[in-house]
Structure 1
Amino acid sequence: MTGTPPDAGGAVLTVHEPMTRLTASAEGCSIVTRGLTKRFRGGQVAVNDLDLAVPRGSVFGFLGPNGSGKTTTIRMLLGLIAPTSGGWELLGTPMPGGAAGVLPRVGALVEGPAFYPYLSGEANLRRYDAADPSADPRTANARIGLALERVGLAAAARKRYRAYSLGMRQRLAIAATLLGPRELLVLDEPTNGLDPQGTREVRGLIKEVAAEGTTVFVSSHLLAEVEHMCSHLAVMRTGRLVAQGPISGFRELRAGGAVRIRVESPDTAEAAAVLAALGLEGIRAGDAEVSAELGDAAPERICAALVADGVAVRGLAVQRPSLEDVFVGLTGEGFDVDG
């Protein structure tokens, strides 16, 4: 079954569980997919009936646990593998028929950078640039110098690639995607394996490129990475799209979750009895700790009731669901939260 993707410009989060079909316009999108599906030999379904809408000018986070179908989707979008069924558009052009005209306007980093280790960063970019039939060789030096400067590698341009740190290698890979004017960047796990400093550098570069009007499509399994830089998100689970929309919608979903109050006390039985008497639900008692759904109760009233009943209160805290809790609820799996 296929359908029309949701309106990417809207402010509403679309949760596709159970799978729903919205019949709104996907105009103004850099990427649109309709029922995109990939089955491999043996019947394995890597991507199942994907309807995706990526607004122009957005930083779009494509999020999901490892093995959820993110890289397979990207490889189909770029024409590296053929889908089993479904269709897609890049920059308003149906694919794969329009690949020759569209792909020169798209920069991509898929499954890590590949460079010659004994060549310098500049020499590697020169080979990338020469392989682009649309690039003017007379302006190659200017393009390569600008790309290296943008990613902060101008000073290391003549250093051999094998001497680059992992962060420098990732930045050089992004420089290769920026050798020409790009309307769309597709980055598959661009901060994979980086230390916190390298991650911040790449994140800042992506924000800078997006501020210039380029749409950036970023695949990741790192929650902190996409939360800090993305304007829109899509969440995958075992090949299916389970939610997509502006990141504000995911934050609202988090805010709508159950808020709990946690009481640290050696008197767990007595504390649980007080919470029950106050009408709180979802009471859970553990080792020196009791929690319950807060509901409409005031935390200060709960604290006063516990003390008045002689319960020794060592600590009291209000706990709201994290964004990680939202994603685990959507996918049933954990995410790496360290960026």
Structure 2
Amino acid sequence: MTAVTQEAGAPFGAAPPPGADPGESAIVTHGLTKRFRGGQVAVDALDLAVPRGSVFGFLGPNGSGKTTTIRMLLGLVAPTAGDYSVLDLPLAQALPRVGAVVEGPAFYPYLSGEANLRRFDAADPTARGGTAARRIAEALERVGLSAAAGKRYRNYSLGMRQRLAIAAALLGPRELLILDEPTNGLDPQGTREVRSLVKEIAADGTTVFVSSHLLAEVEQMCTHAAIMRTGRLVAQGTIASLRSGLVVRVRVETPDAADAARVLGTLGLPDVRRSGAEVTAELDGRVPEQINAALVGEGVAVRGLAVVRPSLEDVFVGLTGEGFDVGG
């Protein structure tokens, strides 16, 4: 398809990438590009399709263009070229249906969580004042902060602060929730809280678009993902499809490594490798239980047998030859 260069301020109405149906997609971009002064290209001809109802991980190292893309999708930054569509609607109609947390909202530390949400709600021109109390209570309940509603924000943990930010984004009915690095800086407990919350929100039918540089984290909560590198899209699809091009291996831990390697070779498993007390091979569609039975039948003492499936990090390294921060 031909890239469309357009004037700033008219980014909506995009033609979808090949195979993308705007009616079935919460977000569609075509050739979306952002160049800053000096020629720096932050986002380079991005073709993205985010299915409705998905939890979509937008992955890439810090500086790969994720936040700039989100700012363009929300109308905060004008694209240099290309088109995009959110919820297949004009900007003015789409934004009231979108909740977003971008680089963390500013809360008053001396106000309670509930009072901060009242401030956010009052600033929303589309919010109905007569239903504010009910909607605020529902948002707090949804993120698990009802019991801490009267607690001052400065006394909230990092996980509670992130949940309050998500509550602020959910004060109205939302079809799409955009979260920029929602687990950044959180401890393991806070990370689990946010991950669980994202899954609950998605289960209610809201499409969730999650930007992150933590591949392992996204892998646990997302149904789909796109991988960015230096402003360009490397790959996108379901988590399963992204992994599908890489080899699944079986790993055997045993004191009888030489015999185990011989048995795996006899079974016809490709690429048998031996390292100390560990032997690996390509699974090649075999059933692990049958492999274990064959090893035991040949007198091999099996201490452990595991199927090793490729991770998103493996996908990224396989596509680019590089890795990036997967642990924070």
Establish whether TM, by shorter chain, passes 0.5: yes
Deviation readout 1:97-147 (Å, 9 max, x if unpaired) = x33222111110001232111222112111111111111222222221211
Counting only pairs closer than 5 Å after superposition, residues 102-251 of structure 1 correspond to structure 2 as 102-251=94-243
Q: TM-score, normalised by structure 2?
A: 0.80
- Asked if 2 retains the 8 angstrom alpha-carbon contact of 1:262 and 1:319, the reply is no
Matched letter for residue 220 of structure 2? H
Alpha-carbon shift at residue 228 of structure 1 (Å) = 2.5
In structure 1, stretches of 5+ residues that fail to align are 7-21
Which residue of 2 is the match for residue 73 of structure 1?
A: 69
Alpha-carbon shift at residue 315 of structure 1 (Å) = 6.7
Which residue of 2 is the match for residue 322 of structure 1?
A: 310
Quote the Cα distance in structure 2 between the aligned partners of 1:168 and 1:109. Answer: 14
User: How many equivalent pairs are there?
Assistant: 313
Deviation readout 1:165-224 (Å, 9 max, x if unpaired) = 101100110010011111111111112122222222222222222222221111112233
Deviates more, 1:322-331 or 1:206-215: 322-331
User: Measured at CA, do residues 215 and 23 of structure 1 come closer, stay the same or move farther in structure 2, by a change above 3 Å?
Assistant: closer
User: Measured at CA, do residues 331 and 126 of structure 1 come closer, stay the same or move farther in structure 2, by a change above 3 Å?
Assistant: farther
- Asked if 1 retains the 8 angstrom alpha-carbon contact of 2:249 and 2:280, the reply is no
SS of alignment partner, residue 209 of structure 1? helix
Quote the Cα distance in structure 2 between the aligned partners of 1:110 and 1:155. Answer: 26
Percent identity between matched residues is: 66
SS of alignment partner, residue 27 of structure 1? helix
- Asked if 2 retains the 8 angstrom alpha-carbon contact of 1:265 and 1:271, the reply is no
User: Measured at CA, do residues 204 and 271 of structure 1 come closer, stay the same or move farther in structure 2, by a change above 3 Å?
Assistant: closer
Alpha-carbon shift at residue 44 of structure 1 (Å) = 1.8
Q: TM-score, normalised by structure 1?
A: 0.78
SS of alignment partner, residue 245 of structure 2? helix
- Asked if 1 retains the 8 angstrom alpha-carbon contact of 2:28 and 2:50, the reply is yes
Deviation readout 1:260-319 (Å, 9 max, x if unpaired) = 666777998x99999999988657676676756566898579969x98xxxx98978566
- Asked if 1 retains the 8 angstrom alpha-carbon contact of 2:178 and 2:210, the reply is yes
Quote the Cα distance in structure 1 between the aligned partners of 2:283 and 2:244. Answer: 18
User: Measured at CA, do residues 302 and 204 of structure 1 come closer, stay the same or move farther in structure 2, by a change above 3 Å?
Assistant: closer
SS of alignment partner, residue 31 of structure 1? strand
- Asked if 2 retains the 8 angstrom alpha-carbon contact of 1:39 and 1:46, the reply is yes
Deviates more, 1:45-54 or 1:272-281: 272-281
Which residue of 1 is the match for residue 249 of structure 2?
A: 259
Alpha-carbon RMSD across the aligned residues, in angstroms, is 3.3
Quote the Cα distance in structure 1 between the aligned partners of 2:21 and 2:53. Answer: 17
Quote the Cα distance in structure 1 between the aligned partners of 2:316 and 2:92. Answer: 37
User: Measured at CA, do residues 208 and 24 of structure 1 come closer, stay the same or move farther in structure 2, by a change above 3 Å?
Assistant: closer
Deviates more, 1:259-268 or 1:175-184: 259-268
In structure 2, stretches of 5+ residues that fail to align are 5-14
